[in-house]
């Protein structure tokens, strides 16, 4: 069942940065692209590295292990070796809390 | 209907065939591979897969992908000739597959040095899935491995076998691991990593013969050492598989292709380990990395569909050894300056290789960002200031060319 989980304050993730948070049973990455927050599964679908440790370029996050690239707005794998997309989640700022809507895996 | 035939089903060929469909090509796609298995990633074969941390190959696409996407995949079938005159691929057994355009992606095979006893049981090399299975099985039943060669494959296998608890002794022709390609400073850092993890390394020596009664018992070196063990692993490099190029295709350290991956024969392309590519930055080079195979596969698919684009990737690979993350980008056979950022002693450093001030290649141990952030600089022949390269706090992205 999906539920809203508070993972930090609204100002936690600086613009142009990506950070990783535990949310329920998931590890969720939050990317701040020009002030818009995008939440996605932090675990690369290729060999399970943390995507939040990679470089964010526009809306593309690059896995630091093997170079897979994902669009943080859709989760789509835009460059291999990963083929499968990562899950994306809704996020919102409420009472200065940063919240994501996650369902358990 | 138009038919594209991909000869070779490693990462390059498999990616090319898959990408043709993913780009919307609705003609015939034939994928011919000598291995009796769908295309898979080879890098884990010396790492996670060899250590038994995963039991399944890491397929580049789900094995069902090819049938589901109408790709005529022939796995376990060897192609014998690319017949340019008749525009057919001749398969073992005599079948002929006509093509409008063909992609040669036959890869490389391990060098088999003329060492007496190389055919003994329990003398292994590593390239294919069954090789990794065999070494893993031998490691389960043994406690002592004897190895020849400390290139990347040798270093990764040595690390994995140590992680499995085996004693490992390696003989290496040069003075450090990877000295020929990386020089003695970086080679020395890799040597120290392996020494601290208990690998016994013997340099400036080589295998003279393997001894055993049908089955490996000991290696005798050129310098007269006798090293006993339960099994041996030989890793002394690869050579391109150019056997199919019998008619109208030149062979010269691989199959030469222009910057767009075209061979000299109309409608015939070559990619991956077998391709000697006229790179816009590095000149003619043949590259044996997984990432290059994948990217050339993607690229050639677009060019088959008339993109006609130059392949200008700066090249990149990784090599995990123990807890050390090693990466490298670019390509350099000679350099006149090496700038180090971080600490070699602490195994947290990047080494920038320059010639006449131009950044050609970046190597890192546990500083992986520098390597990938170097790629746009290498691709644009940048001449970065030494002080900026040396400064661990300086973000190389500040030097990237502006986005188009």
- Give the per-residue pLDDT at B368: 84
Q: Across the interface, do A81 and B294 touch by the CB < 8 Å criterion?
A: yes
- Chain A within 8 Å of B316 (Cβ-Cβ)? yes
List the single residue in A47, A67, A83 with the smallest CB-CB distance to B316: A67
Give the integer Cα–Cα distance in Å for A10 and A88: 19
pLDDT band per the 50, 70, 90 thresholds, residue A97: confident
Give the integer Cα–Cα distance in Å for B379 and B382: 8
- Chain B within 8 Å of A65 (Cβ-Cβ)? yes
When comparing pLDDT for B90 and A4, which is higher?
A: B90
Domains and CATH numbers, chain B: 3-109+239-304 (3.50.50.60), 123-234 (3.50.50.60), 323-399 (3.30.390.30)
List the single residue in B41, B369, B397 with the smallest CB-CB distance to A81: B41
C-beta contacts of A82-87 below 8 A and 24+ residues apart? A82/A44, A82/A45, A82/A46, A83/A45, A83/A46, A83/B60, A83/B61, A84/A45, A85/A45, A86/A40, A86/A41, A86/A43, A86/A44, A86/A45, A86/A51, A87/A40, A87/A41
- Chain A within 8 Å of B60 (Cβ-Cβ)? yes
Give mean pLDDT, residues B212-217.
96
- Give the per-residue pLDDT at B342: 97
List the single residue in B61, B316, B368 with the smallest CB-CB distance to A83: B61
| β-pairing verdict for A55-57 and A36-41 | unpaired
Nearest CA in chain A to B317: A66
List for chain A the helix, strand, coil content (%; round to 5).
5, 55, 45
| Chain A residues whose beta carbon lies within 8 Å of the beta carbon of residue B316 | 67
Please give the distance of CA B285 from its chain centroid, rounded to a whole number: 13
Contact between B117 and B209 (Cβ < 8 Å): yes
Domain ranges for chain A, please list them: 15-95
Contact between A67 and A55 (Cβ < 8 Å): no
Give the integer Cα–Cα distance in Å for B172 and B154: 10
Pick the CATH number of A15-95 from 2.60.40.10, 1.10.10.10, 3.40.190.10, 2.102.10.10: 2.102.10.10
Give mean pLDDT, residues B46-67.
96
Residue of A48, A62, A81 to mutate when probing chain B, most B C-beta within 10 A = A81
Give the integer Cα–Cα distance in Å for A57 and B307: 25
- Give the per-residue pLDDT at B44: 96
- Give the per-residue pLDDT at A105: 59
Task: Tell me the three state secondary structure of residue B235.
Answer: coil
Side-chain-side CA neighbours of residue B57 (13 Å): 20
Q: Across the interface, do A67 and B41 touch by the CB < 8 Å criterion?
A: no
pLDDT band per the 50, 70, 90 thresholds, residue B62: very high
- Chain B within 8 Å of A55 (Cβ-Cβ)? yes
Confidence (pTM): 0.94
List the single residue in B41, B58, B368 with the smallest CB-CB distance to A64: B368
Q: Give the gyration radius of chain A's Cα atoms.
A: 13
Give the integer Cα–Cα distance in Å for B207 and B363: 29
| Chain B residues whose beta carbon lies within 8 Å of the beta carbon of residue A47 | 48, 58
Q: Across the interface, do B372 and A62 touch by the CB < 8 Å criterion?
A: yes
Instruction: List pLDDT tens digits, range A18-77.
Output: 999 888 788 999 999 998 899 999 999 999 999 999 999 999 999 999 999 999 999 999
Nearest CA in chain A to B22: A83
Q: Give the gyration radius of chain B's Cα atoms.
A: 22
Q: If 0-12 CB within 10 Å is exposed, 13-18 middle and 19+ buried, where does residue A59 land?
A: middle
Q: Across the interface, do B60 and A47 touch by the CB < 8 Å criterion?
A: no
- Partner B, chain A 70-99, Cβ-Cβ below 8 Å: 80-81, 83
pLDDT band per the 50, 70, 90 thresholds, residue B161: very high
What distances in angstroms separate CA A104 from CA A4, A5, B153, B226, one per listed residue?
A: 12, 11, 40, 58
When comparing pLDDT for A97 and A69, which is higher?
A: A69
pLDDT band per the 50, 70, 90 thresholds, residue A104: low
- Chain A within 8 Å of B160 (Cβ-Cβ)? no
List the single residue in B48, B325, B372 with the smallest CB-CB distance to A55: B372
- Chain A within 8 Å of B58 (Cβ-Cβ)? yes
Q: Tell me B261's DSSP state.
A: S
- Give the per-residue pLDDT at B388: 97
Give mean pLDDT, residues B46-50.
97
| B197–chain A nearest CA distance, Å | 23
Give the integer Cα–Cα distance in Å for B327 and B363: 6
Centre a 10 Å sphere on the Cβ of residue B359 and count the other Cβ atoms it contains: 27
Q: Across the interface, do A55 and B373 touch by the CB < 8 Å criterion?
A: yes
What distances in angstroms separate CA B25 from CA B300, B301, B303, one per listed residue?
A: 13, 9, 12
- Chain A within 8 Å of B331 (Cβ-Cβ)? no
- Give the per-residue pLDDT at A11: 77
- Give the per-residue pLDDT at A28: 92
Contact between A57 and A79 (Cβ < 8 Å): no
Q: Across the interface, do A55 and B369 touch by the CB < 8 Å criterion?
A: yes
Instruction: List pLDDT tens digits, range B110-150.
Output: 999 999 999 999 999 999 999 999 999 999 999 999 999 99
Give mean pLDDT, residues B90-118.
96
| Chain B residues whose beta carbon lies within 8 Å of the beta carbon of residue A81 | 41, 60, 290, 294
Nearest CA in chain B to A80: B294
């Amino acid at each position: 069942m999906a539920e809203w989980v508070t993972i930090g304050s609204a100002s936690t993730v600086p613009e142009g940065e990506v950070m990783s948070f535990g949310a329920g049973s998931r590890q969720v990455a939050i990317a701040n692209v020009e002030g818009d927050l995008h939440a996605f599964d932090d675990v690369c679908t290729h060999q399970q590295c943390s995507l939040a440790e990679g470089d964010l370029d526009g809306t593309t996050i690059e896995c630091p292990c093997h170079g897979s690239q994902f669009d943080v707005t859709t989760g789509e794998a835009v460059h291999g070796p990963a083929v499968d997309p990562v899950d994306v989640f809704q996020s919102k700022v409420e009472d200065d809390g940063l919240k994501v809507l996650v369902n358990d895996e | 209907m138009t038919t594209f035939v991909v000869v070779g089903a490693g990462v390059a060929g498999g990616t090319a065939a898959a990408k043709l469909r993913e780009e919307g090509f609705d003609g015939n796609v034939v994928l011919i591979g000598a291995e009796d298995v769908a295309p898979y990633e080879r890098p884990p074969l010396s790492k996670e897969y060899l250590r038994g941390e995963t039991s399944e190959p890491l397929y580049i696409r789900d094995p069902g992908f090819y049938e589901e996407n109408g790709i005529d995949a022939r796995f376990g079938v060897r192609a014998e000739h690319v017949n340019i005159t008749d525009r057919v691929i001749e398969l073992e057994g005599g079948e002929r597959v006509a093509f409008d355009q063909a992609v040669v992606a036959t890869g490389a095979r391990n060098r088999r040095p003329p060492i007496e006893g190389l055919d003994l049981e329990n003398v292994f090399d590593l390239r294919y899935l069954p090789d990794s299975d065999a070494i893993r099985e031998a490691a389960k039943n043994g406690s002592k491995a004897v190895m020849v060669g400390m290139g990347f494959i040798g270093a990764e296998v040595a690390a994995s076998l140590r992680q499995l608890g085996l004693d490992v002794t390696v003989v290496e022709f040069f003075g450090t691991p990877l000295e020929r390609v990386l020089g003695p400073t970086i080679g020395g850092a890799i040597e120290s990593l392996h020494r601290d993890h208990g690998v016994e390394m013997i340099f400036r020596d080589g295998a003279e013969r393997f001894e055993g009664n049908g089955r490996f018992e000991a290696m005798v070196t050129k310098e007269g050492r006798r090293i006993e063990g339960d099994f041996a692993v030989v890793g002394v490099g690869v050579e391109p598989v150019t056997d199919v190029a019998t008619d109208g295709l030149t062979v010269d350290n691989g199959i030469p292709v222009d910057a767009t991956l075209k061979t000299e024969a109309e409608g015939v392309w070559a990619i991956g380990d077998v391709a000697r590519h006229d790179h816009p930055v590095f000149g003619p080079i043949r590259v044996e990395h997984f990432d290059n195979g994948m990217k050339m596969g993607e690229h050639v698919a677009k060019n088959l569909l008339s993109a006609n684009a130059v392949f200008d990737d700066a090249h990149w690979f990784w090599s995990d050894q123990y807890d050390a993350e090693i990466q490298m980008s670019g390509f350099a056979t000679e350099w006149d300056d090496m700038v180090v950022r971080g600490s070699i002693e602490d195994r947290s450093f990047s080494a920038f290789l320059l010639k006449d001030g131009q950044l050609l290649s970046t190597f890192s141990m546990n500083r992986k960002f520098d390597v990938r952030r170097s790629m746009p600089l290498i691709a644009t022949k940048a001449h970065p200031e030494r002080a900026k390269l040396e400064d661990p706090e300086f973000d190389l992205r500040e030097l990237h060319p502006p986005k188009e």
